[in-house]
Every structure is written in structure tokens, then in C-alpha cells.
A and B are shown apart, each in its own frame.
Chain A
Amino acid sequence: MTVVERVPTDKVVVEGMTGDAAIAHALKQCDIDVLAAYPITPQTIIVEDFQKFVANGEVKTRVIPVESEHSAMSACVGASAVGARVATATASAGLALMWEILYCAASMRMPIVLAVANRALSAPINIHNDWSDSYGARDSGFIQIYCQSCQEAYDTVIMAFKIAEDHDVLLPVMVCIDGFILSHNVERVEMLPTEAVQQFLGVRKPAIALDPDNPVTMGPLALTDYYFEFKEQQDRAMARVPEVFERVESEFEKMTGRRYGRFETYRVEDADIIIFTHSTPGGTAKAVVDALRERGEKVGVVRLRMFRPFPAEALREVLRNAKAVAVFEKCRSFGAPSNPLALEVRTALYDLDERPLVTDFVIGLGGRDVPPSTIVEGVEKTKEYLKAGRAPLYETLGVRK
């Protein structure tokens, strides 16, 4: 374990920056060896800003301006296999094009950090935010962390490398921010001194690398006799993530005083209804809860951060005493009885003898605004369903029907 010390406040640089810029700065300070990326809105600023650092000699990173996202992730796997610290960034169609290689990166145990500015998938083509892109990749084997603020995005990228590169984990991490809502929104960000970040992370020490002195074969064929064991090991690595995450966050807290957890709870102690969401709607939900609390309503928020691995057990303890959990999610899983986030919540609660009612509201597809009134509407509906004793498996809010 590295010895970290609290960074004195006079060493912290405060700047107004967008989510994309915050991520670009974090990547720079993490001293990544290789960045392979392809432009796509609303992620592009990350790569543009980073290329500016390169052009000005501020980093020694080799940037590979690949011809597609498929090649971006492929180049990341190649670079990571040599032992380099590697990152890329994408969104929407770009993530979809990477799909095949996401699974390879995870199964080949490459600790790549992938920043995703969440954006709707075509068609119709749309550049705005929802979570269909990274939700679709939820079974790829990537760790997934969703951020609510630019500060959180900056901090999470730094921690992501330390989690990914830990030999108990060795899995790639997706750090997700809401496209435009966060990627292009200027917020106050406290940046650490680069030396502190580098001391926190250290240099990557690969478990196995493509090394001419010690030749290995990576990415072989494994059939009925061994494939399953690869998957078993991958699954166990995923199961070790919470412990490593906790360790990394504790060290980060020592250095910065900040910690986020796998999820954030807000005024949930005595809450009858808990709003369950993540990313920027988490902020809106907290404002709604403050307003409703003033009217004497017992409501709270759980803002999820880590979607993979899903913290089912810890969440069960937080949610079990509520009368209802109202899930708000920016994705429709077509043909499914409910949607990705609510499916996880329902699974987490299923084993309880007495379960809260779970409502599932699909919101904000294609960047449709999610104002406080949308959250209030969901809470009001949840109250009605509580009275009736049952609720539909899911419904859409904020759309012409």
C-alpha cells in the first residue's frame, strides 16, 4: 500500500472546468503511457484537450489517433498487454463499435480506463444523454462507475487506475458521465498536485506482460475444457472489486478528504420512499427531496455510483425499511419486463420476506430534460401505487404518448 498524506489546501488548484476537461486533466496527471481514441460527441473534448497537452509537451503519452473505436479499444488491449497504463474515451455509437473488444479487454484482464460520456444510441441519430450505451455493455466485464459532478469524474478517473491495476482485480473500468449535462457543464473542480496523483498511483506493475525475455501466449483458443474456468476467474476478480475499491477510496480520502462510496445515501434514514437513480438525475433528486421534506414528506435518495459490480447486498440493507423504491433510469430495455437499473434493484430485494414496492420510471431518453417535476411526478405515482398495493413493472415519464 502506498503511503499517502493529506494534500495541503494551498497545493490544490481550483478551476472551473467541464466534465470532459476534468477527465482530460486527470488522465494527464495519471501519466498514462498510451491513449488511443476516436472522436465522438460529447466525449471529443477529452481527446482534444489531451492532444493539446501532448502538443505542448506536458505529457509523455503516446496518443494513437486511430481510424475507429474498434481499433481504439484494440490498440488499448495491445498497449496494456505490454504493461502500459492505458486509457480511451467514447460514447454511444463509438461504444457500440467497440463492443466486441470490450469483452476481450475484460476477459484478457487488461486494466484499461474508458471514459464514457453517456449518449443515446441511433436511430434516430441523437447526440444527447441517456444511458442506453453503457447499460448495453453491462455484461462486458467492465467495472462501471457513474459520476454526478465534474469533481467526482476527476477523482474517479484517478481512483479507477488504482482499482483496475490492482492484482486482485485486473479488470477494465468505465467511468461514465452524462453527455452534455456533465461533459459540457462548467463546475468548480479541485485539482491535486500532479506529484500527489503520481505518488498515489505509482507506476503500473503488470502481472504478466508481452516480454521477449519471458515469452507468453495471450488470447489463446479455449474450448469446452477451459473456457468456463477463464470465466470463473473473471467472475471472482469482479467479486473482489468492492474490497479493493474500499481500500483505494480510503487512501484517496486520506489524501483529499473526499470519498463517494459505491453509492451515496441522502436523507434515507426514516424515508418511506427512496428515489433510486444515478449520474446527474441524482443531483436533481436530492433537490426534490429537500423540497418534499419541507412539506413533511419522508423521502430520500440513493444515488448509485457503481453499477458493476452491483452492490446488491449493501443496498438491500439501505432499502429494506422503505415502503417503496422509485427507480428513475435513462434506458429502455426493449421487450424486457422492466429496465436495467430496476431489474438489479428488484433482484437485490427479492430475497427479503417483506419487500418495498419497486416502481420503475424510464426518463430522459435522447437527452429529454429531466426537471424536478418529472421526479415529483414519479414520487406522486409511487404514493398512489403504494395505496393501491401494486404498481406497473415500468412506465415512461416525460414523453408524448
Chain B
Amino acid sequence: MALPKHLQHGLTPDELTFLAEEEVISIVPSFSMTKIRVLSGVYGPFVPPSSTSVPLWMALSLKRKRKCRIVAPEWLQVERLQALLKEEKENQDGFNKLPRRFIETGKVLLDVAPDDLHLPAQLRSLLKDLREVRQAKIRLGLQSEGVMQGSYLQMNGLTPLELMELKPFLVKAMGVLQTLEPRKEERDGYGASQT
């Protein structure tokens, strides 16, 4: 892989998006077709105007061909995101449970199907706000003591993308910190010889 070494520990956002595209989303097709079988399962039948569930990649591909309208996921709505953002702000000690791949899904949907979303511009800014609030929390969390001692960092509720973002830095930093920390046995041994 041509990636710089420090990035090779994790997945790139593109790869994560690729993974996110395996998730299922509902669409309203604008063509009729019987059930189809793909590797991940059987989808359909496609009978407009009723909705059906397909993997995100299929939805996006159909959308690009103008063959369907994507039904926005329940969380991708202004009111819902506002509530989530508020909760996220209020909950200072941890991360809220969010859809696992909300950043990736949100981004591809906003890029490919903004016309199927209600108030896409507002959604985009809300998603960005949400992400920034969480990033700020991560930064704060990194300053906590445990991290400085290279021992551990608690991060419940982080999504894979955020984790991958953090990983290259964190792995290296913690490694460095650990080398700076005197080894336990060394320290103990030193103490023992003293007495």
C-alpha cells in the first residue's frame, strides 16, 4: 500500500465509506423489477411507489442513474440531529450512541442525493457541528491523565471513523510515552537494590 506508514494501522475514510455502503437503506425505486440476488442477499421486489431495502451502494448507484429516490434514514433529519447535537453537548463525560457509520452515510447521502433530503444544507452543518463537538471531546479526553501515562483511554461510543482518525496518532504517542515511562521492573529493581 502506498499509504504513509503511520496510516497503515487503520482504515482510510474511503475504505470506511466502502464498508458503510454495505449497510441497508430503503429506497423508492422508479422502475419495476422482481427480486434480485446479490452476494449479500436477496433484495426487492422493486414495485414503485412502495419502498424496498437495498444496500447503500446499490441505492447510490441507482440514484446516480436516477432510478430511485432514497428514503432518508430516521436519524438524518433536522429535528433529530438537533436533538442529538444538544444531547452530545450536554453529555460532557462520554460520547452519545450514534448510528455506527453516521459520518460516512451522511456524507455520501448529502453528496449523492441532496434532493431526497429535507434541508440538506442544514443537515450538512448539523452533521459537521456534531462531528466537531465530538472531536472537541476527543481532544479533551486526550489530555486526561491516563493517556499521558500511556496506560489507557476510554472511548465508548466512538464510531469507527473517529477511531481510525485517532489511531495513527494515538498508537505512536502512547508508544512514545511508554518508552519515556520507566519500566516497572526497572523501577522496582532499582528500589530493591537500594534497600
A-B interaction:
no
By a beta-carbon cutoff of 8 Å, the part of chain A in contact with chain B is none
By a beta-carbon cutoff of 8 Å, the part of chain B in contact with chain A is none
